[in-house]
Structure 1
Amino acid sequence: MPLPFLTADRAFEAADDVALPFEDHDRWRRPYRPGPWRVGVAALWLLLASYVLFAAVIIALTGTSAEGGVVFGVALVVIAASLRLLRMGVWVSARGLRQVGFFVTRTVPWNRVAAVRTVQQPVRWLGLPRTVQGQALTLVRREGSAQDVLPLLTTHGADFLARPSAFDRAADSLEAWADEYRQG
């Protein structure tokens, strides 16, 4: 069974004849693999959740079942947060482009996309307030105001930190999706 957060089934090859190497273009998919920072943090959260689940069993056996249930609920919240962390990123389909955040998901149909391009600009380091100089893949909407420029991916995000070639492949893939579907 394929895991939904590992949707880049194979590496994007520049020599391929097909810019969009997927058969089913109507299915939402992330055209790149999650980065090691994202996967590592999610793995640590799942490890923490296993300890909390073990504590819930011990508390339920030695204390009251209500206290064990509360700790079990905390473990479920940690598991849900780690799975949401793995789902974060940019997803594409024939219907549009979807940016999945931890709390908010934005979907932009292709007919509202003016451009998807790579720009040199200050970017956040691992999503923290500190900014460094890097590249960002931005989405420009057709409305045209300065607030409609959204950074989709950055070279210093959790998926591409210290992996510039992976960022370039992901940016090329997203630009290919945009070029294919913006025109109709």
Structure 2
Amino acid sequence: MPLSFLAADRAFETVDDVALPFDDRDHWRRPYRPGPCRVGAAALCLLLASYVLFAAVVIALTSSVSEAGVIFGVSLLVIAAALRLLRMGVWVSARGLRHVGFLRTRTVSWGRVAAVRTVQQPVRWLGLPRTVQGQALTLLRRDRATDGALPLLTTHGADFFGRVEAFDRAADAVEAWAEEYGRH
């Protein structure tokens, strides 16, 4: 089964001189691979879901079907959480930039993007309240100049923890998309 979310980074590894190597630019794409922390957490969630599904089958065979249905529903929630965890990140297309979080997705059209920059600042360590010094790819919007910059990617996030070169490639790719479509 092809895993399309893993193919995004390979396109940037094969094309050195072209910043936007995709033919269909209207399709939403993540210009980097999900990090090992994110993939590992999703794999653990799916492993947990398989045990919960097995428990639902055992409960259905030995007890009531309604109790098994509740356990089956819990397993579906765990699977949905794992899939959402894999979808998290920054996605780009010719229409704009999309920041997908676990519970919330924000889409900003390129016309509303003032700048996308890499800055040195305190960043959250793996999304926890603890902050460390690192780099962040920030989004400045034209309609919210006073609110400050929204951090899109960080060097200490789940996608780039311990992979500074991958962060630099991803930040360059998102900045190239912003430069290309921000002037239209």
TM-score range (shorter-chain normalised) is over 0.9
Query: Against the structure 1 CA distance between its residues 36 and 7, is the aligned structure 2 distance closer, same or farther, given a 3 Å change threshold?
Result: same
Give the aligned residue type for 2:47: L
- 1:34-49 equivalences in 2 (<5 Å): 34-49=34-49
Q: Hey, what does 1:33 align to over in structure 2? A: 33
TM-score (norm 2): 0.95
1:10, CA displacement in angstroms?
1.3
1:9, CA displacement in angstroms?
5.3
1:19, CA displacement in angstroms?
1.1
Query: Against the structure 1 CA distance between its residues 148 and 9, is the aligned structure 2 distance closer, same or farther, given a 3 Å change threshold?
Result: same
1:114 and 1:169 map into 2 onto residues whose CA distance is: 21
Q: Percent identity?
A: 77
Aligned to 1:18, what secondary structure does the other structure show? Answer: coil
2:66 paired with 1:98: no
Give the aligned residue type for 2:98: R
CA RMSD for the aligned pairs?
1.5
Q: CA deviation digits over 1:58-83, x for unaligned, max 9?
A: 00000000000000000000000000
Give the aligned residue type for 2:165: S
Aligned to 1:10, what secondary structure does the other structure show? Answer: helix
Paired positions, count: 184
2:10 paired with 1:10: yes
Q: CA deviation digits over 1:5-33, x for unaligned, max 9?
A: 33505152497332101111000010000
Q: Hey, what does 1:121 align to over in structure 2? A: 121
Q: CA deviation digits over 1:132-180, x for unaligned, max 9?
A: 0000000001125231511000000000000000000000000000000
Contact 1:7 1:29 in 2 (8 A): no
Aligned to 2:147, what secondary structure does the other structure show? Answer: helix
TM-score (norm 1): 0.95
User: As a proportion of its length, which structure holds more helix?
Assistant: 2
Contact 2:11 2:21 in 1 (8 A): no
2:163 paired with 1:163: yes
2:65 paired with 1:65: yes
